[in-house]
Every structure is written in C-alpha cells, then in structure tokens.
Amino acid sequence: MASLMPLSPYLSPTVLLLVSCDLGFVRADRPPSPVNVTVTHLRANSATVSWDVPEGNIVIGYSISQQRQNGPGQRVIREVNTTTRACALWGLAEDSDYTVQVRSIGLRGESPPGPRVHFRTLKGSDRLPSNSSSPGDITVEGLDGERPLQTGEVVIIVVVLLMWAAVIGLFCRQYDIIKDNDSNNNPKEKGKGPEQSPQGRPVGTRQKKSSSINTIDV
C-alpha cells in the first residue's frame, strides 16, 4: 500500500481529464434549440404551437413550457418517442396573455430553451382573431373556421350541375325513343299470318319463325 501512495498525485489530473471529456461529449450530443417557433389557430381557450428543428440532429421528443402572464397558469408539456413538430395548448383563459418556450429532447438531454413567444387568446365573442406578435421573427397567426366560396368554385359547381342535368335529359330522350320503337313493332308482328310456300301452301307449321332484330341508331 505504501508503494502506491506516490501515484495518487498523477491519477487526479487523469480523472479530471476524463470527466471533462465526458462532459464535452454530453454537450455535443445535446440537440440545438428549436427555431421558427409559431403560435397559430388562436381561440378563446386553445392555441397551437409549432416549430422546426435544424437538420442533422437526433431529436426524440420535445418539452413545452407555458406561462400565463399576470396570473396563475404555468404548465410543462413533455413528450418523448415522437417526431411531431406541433402541440395543442388547451385549457387557456380567454383574453389573456401567455408566453411559451420549446425545448428539443435528444439522447443525452434537453436543448437550451428556444425563443420566448408571446400570444394573446381571443375573447369568447370574437370570430376573427387579431394577429399580434412579440418583437423579432416570431409570429402569431389566427385561422378562421368559416370561409366563403370563391367565384371560381361557384362556377365549377354550376357547370357540374348543368352537366348532370344534360345527362339526365339525354337518358330520358333515348328511353322515349326506345319505348316508341317497341310499341310500333308489336302490332306488325301480331298481324302477320302464316307464311306460304311458293306453291301456295302454308309453311308456318313446318318452319320455325326467325327471330327479329331491331337496330336503333342513337
């Protein structure tokens, strides 16, 4: 044991070097912060936050921090084993200010928090959301659930209805023509007598009546 004591001063720098290298690898394996964080689909009690992750990074989940300003309402949403790039925020208070931050989760931990995004929920009586955004390139967008028909869409619908009406009219016309031809051919067949041979003798009992074929040109 006494012979090993002089080695202890040489082991401490080695251990420190290994620990520092390991910490360096951990920092390198952490994913970068999300970018292009956007809040959309604003409603009185809900919203949707979406983001992008830089290419070439392994991300297995996300963590979202939601904070209501000037009141209680802090929430952390964490999900792993997913590749989604959007999350719904529910149970929000109407006409209230919120901030949200997104973190990426990698194999070695979480990324630093992304940019802080500010948004405001709508009032219960509002139909069209008013857009508001924090300074910078972080945007907040609203989406209306109802949209009037455009002129081109109305024209297409009218043309389709006219085509269907023309097809139905043509079918009814052809049906009347076929029905009239059948009614004209039946009396002629009933009025025919038995066919006679060149010698004047009836041959209807000896020969079979040939089938008639009606051809209708449409």
Ranges of each domain in the chain: 30-146, 148-183
- Strands (DSSP E) along the chain, which ranges? 35-40, 47-52, 61-68, 75-80, 86-89, 97-106, 109-110, 117-120
Q: At residue 32, does pLDDT exceed 80?
A: yes
Nearest to 95 by CA among 134, 73, 123, 133: 123
Q: At residue 151, does pLDDT exceed 70?
A: yes
- Pair of tokens at residue 19: 């620990």
Determine the pLDDT at residue 38: 95
CB 96, CB 89: distance < 8 Å: no
Average pLDDT, integer, range 41-59 = 91
Say how many Å lie between the first and final Cα of the chain, rounded.
113
C-alpha–C-alpha distance, residues 164 and 155, integer Å: 14
- pLDDT band, residue 51 (cuts 50/70/90): very high
Q: Which CATH architecture has domain 30-146?
A: Sandwich (2.60)
CB 141, CB 40: distance < 8 Å: yes
